[in-house]
Amino acid sequence: MPALKTLAVSVGDLNGVGFEILLKAHDEIKHMCRPLYCISRSMASQAAGLLDTVLPEDFECHEVAGEFVIRPGIVESSSGRYSYESFVAAVELAKNGLAEGITTLPIHKEAWMMAGIGYKGHTDALRDFFAQDAIMMLGCDKLYVALFTEHIPLRDVASRIQTEKLVSFLIRLHENTGTDSAAVLGLNPHAGDHGVLGDEEREIEKAIALANTRLGKEVFYGPIVPDVAFTPRFRAHCRMIVAMYHDQGLAPLKALYFDESINVSLGLPVIRTSVDHGTAFDIAYDHKASVTSYLNAVRAAIGFAAAKG
């Protein structure tokens, strides 16, 4: 049998649910890949102790420097810094060919800010690490949502909708997913009602037409009225949606497929998948965290790695 793919797992914010999730899932994950957890043995043992258990003998740690006292449910710089260092270690393993992919557990953006980390999240950091414009796509086999803009204030979204930028985004999305059909949402209610409620849709229309022309086929269609795009009738024939901003796409996606969904970073030289949920500080170390998104993220990373060869 071929050797199992090695997957670098960054442990996320240790004050949240990430460690509970990876420990719960370990016995299943180890039959799918070789998980290499980016955490020191001592920090992993401390986290396991908070869960009233001990580390499995086959729990393989990749040492990450830094020691602190885990405080479940608390936003603080020490846990934010450690989650970042764990992530950097995972990236380095993949860059150096020591892992075929990366799967990340949730970080807390405020904790990163408190630690003086200048990124808003994993995707922002990956763009800088590789000097490439990664695409954030979330979802599951039933529906994927790609975000044209991500972690920016809502007031800034309209000015970001420019024809050539959207054309580039759509073409890169097609190149990285192979999708042959994707709906592109309008920005405004009723997709602008032909200019009555806003004119950003004119830029979106032009971008769709240009992207399809450059691809030589009709891949993208729209602008679609946002409030019908996630209804059962529309989803019956649509498996990929391009949203203009974060909550436009992710609020309905998570209402539909919260436990199943994952996060995928597209357009990078390394494979990176992630859970599609946050640190859930309110249930940290309470034995209540679901492993579904994590299992799906690992399966996706292994699948991408296999396709890459």
Taking CA 296 as the corner, what is the angle to CA 279 and CA 87, rounded to the nearest 5 degrees?
Answer: 50
Instruction: Judge if 195 and 87 occupy the same domain.
Output: no
Instruction: Judge if 125 and 147 occupy the same domain.
Output: no
Compute the half-sphere exposure of residue 67: CA atoms within 13 Å on the CB side of its CA.
4
What's at 215, amino acid-wise? L
Instruction: Judge if 163 and 89 occupy the same domain.
Output: no
Nearest alpha carbon to residue 207 among 191, 195, 223? 223
Instruction: Judge if 149 and 116 occupy the same domain.
Output: no
Instruction: Judge if 202 and 280 occupy the same domain.
Output: no
What are the CA-CA distances from residue 171 to residues 14, 128, 135, 140, 213 (Å)? Answer: 38, 21, 11, 21, 10
Instruction: Judge if 101 and 87 occupy the same domain.
Output: yes
Instruction: Decide the pairing of beta strands 135-140 and 143-147.
Output: antiparallel
pLDDT at 194: 79
The stretches in the chain having pLDDT less than 50 are 1
Instruction: Judge if 2 and 75 occupy the same domain.
Output: yes
pLDDT at 274: 94
Q: Which of 259, 282, 297 is the last residue of a domain?
A: 259
> What is the per-residue pLDDT across 62-82, written as a single tens digit (0 to 9) for each?
999 999 999 999 999 999 999
Instruction: Judge if 277 and 249 occupy the same domain.
Output: no
Instruction: Judge if 244 and 270 occupy the same domain.
Output: no
Q: How far apart are CA 6 and CA 89, in angstroms?
A: 14
> What is the per-residue pLDDT across 268-282, written as a single tens digit (0 to 9) for each?
999 999 998 999 999
Instruction: Judge if 169 and 244 occupy the same domain.
Output: yes
CATH of the domain at 54: 3.40.718.10
How many CB atoms neighbour CB 153 within 10 A?
Answer: 8
Supply the range of the domain harboring residue 211. 143-259
Instruction: Judge if 164 and 243 occupy the same domain.
Output: yes
Instruction: Judge if 269 and 194 occupy the same domain.
Output: no
Q: Which of 259, 276, 293 is the last residue of a domain?
A: 259
Token reading at 43: 């920090």
**Number of domains the chain is built from:** 2
pLDDT at 40: 98
